[in-house]
Amino acid sequence: MANRTVSDAIAIHGTNPQYLIEKIMRTRIYESLYWKEFCFGLTAETLIDKAIELTSFGGEYGNQKPTEFLCLTLKLLQLQPSKDIVMEFIRNEDYKYLRALGAFYLRLVGNSLEIYQTLEPLLNDYRKLRKRTNEGDFEIVCMDEFIEELLKEERVCDTIMPRILKRHVLEENGELQPRESGEQDQEGEEEEEGEVKSRSSKSKSRERSKRDRSSSRNRGDKSSGRRNRSRSRSSRSPLPRKSSRSRSRSRSRSPRRRGGDWRADRCKYYRIL
């Protein structure tokens, strides 16, 4: 009796709401310890307390054990709470796993139009979530990534998602307006900043080139002035002096001349004698 859907439940997508989760997964959830201890007598009001206590989300982990997130999802399908309660789950900003649970449930039971209208604003939620992998480990996933999986992927948290219409089909029918995300605005701002930076860099490069040209011209003028000075100095410089060798030769020749005179005097002296 505890595993049956409520008597006044409405068929979702033409079938029992519980059947939106595969039979193998349902039997594993029914046999799990968390389901037997905490989900047996839950109501739509007391289920909120259990959803607030969640610390992660995911499908199966370890030895094909269902997560607490998946157990509470199946309980929501059994109870089939009103749409207002589900919307309160999604609008809640204090408990992120409660919001993730409401978004996952709405993706299972909602139609295409209300899914896009309700879940697309959650793409601006960048809070971090802990996702339990099949190996039993945890990985960090942001809320916007989880919402994007719900909108685009066919299988999320080991559960097959019901088919929905593509967004462009709803736009062509006039039921949904084109989405303007904050990422496009950020990209536009980044492009503008890039253009401003490129312009400033171009102006700086032009100024540098002008400075380099002026400095090269000044250097050329200085070098030409130095060359002219060196040329003028070389033209004004006196004739080269005689080398030390020529001086030594002239000095060595002078005693010979004196010696010749001395020989003549000596001859005169002998003649007198």
Residue 14 backbone dihedrals phi, psi, to 5 degrees: 75, 20
pLDDT of residue 214: 65
Residue 61 located in a structural domain: yes
Indicate the SS3 state at residue 119.
helix
Domain that includes residue 89, residue range: 23-173
Query: What is the Cα–Cα distance from 172 to 18, expressed in whole angstroms?
Result: 33
Residue 123 located in a structural domain: yes
Residue 83 located in a structural domain: yes
Query: Is the predicted pLDDT of residue 64 greater than 80, yes or no?
Result: yes
Query: Is the predicted pLDDT of residue 46 greater than 60, yes or no?
Result: yes
Residue 46 located in a structural domain: yes
Dump pLDDT digits (tens) for 155-207.
999 999 999 999 999 999 888 888 775 554 455 555 556 665 666 666 666 77
Query: Is the predicted pLDDT of residue 69 greater than 50, yes or no?
Result: yes
* Radius of gyration for the alpha carbons in the chain, expressed in angstroms and rounded: 49
Higher-pLDDT residue of 52 and 216 is: 52
Percent of the chain with pLDDT over 70: 66
Q: Which of 76-85, 126-135, 249-258 has the lowest mean pLDDT?
A: 249-258
Q: How many domains does the chain have?
A: 1
* Mean pLDDT in residue range 138-163: 94
Percent of the chain with pLDDT over 90: 51
Residue 227 located in a structural domain: no
pLDDT of residue 77: 94
pLDDT of residue 44: 84
Residue 183 located in a structural domain: no
pLDDT of residue 220: 59
Query: Is the predicted pLDDT of residue 222 greater than 60, yes or no?
Result: no
pLDDT of residue 228: 56
3-state SS string for the chain? CCCCCCCCCCCECCECHHHHCCHHHHHHHHHCHHHHHHCCCCCCCHHHHHHHCCCCEECEECCCEECHHHHHHHHHHHHCCCHHHHHHHHHCCCCHHHHHHHHHHHHHHCCHHHHHHHHHHHHHCCCEEEEECCCCCEEEEEHHHHHHHHHHCCEECCEECCCCCCHHHHHHCCCCCCCCCHHHHHHHHHHHHHHHHHHHHHHHHHHHHHHHHHHHHHHHHHHHHHHHHHHHHHHHCCCCCCCHHHHHHHHHHHHHHHHHHHHHHHHHHHHHC
Residue 226 located in a structural domain: no
Higher-pLDDT residue of 7 and 198 is: 7
Residue 202 located in a structural domain: no
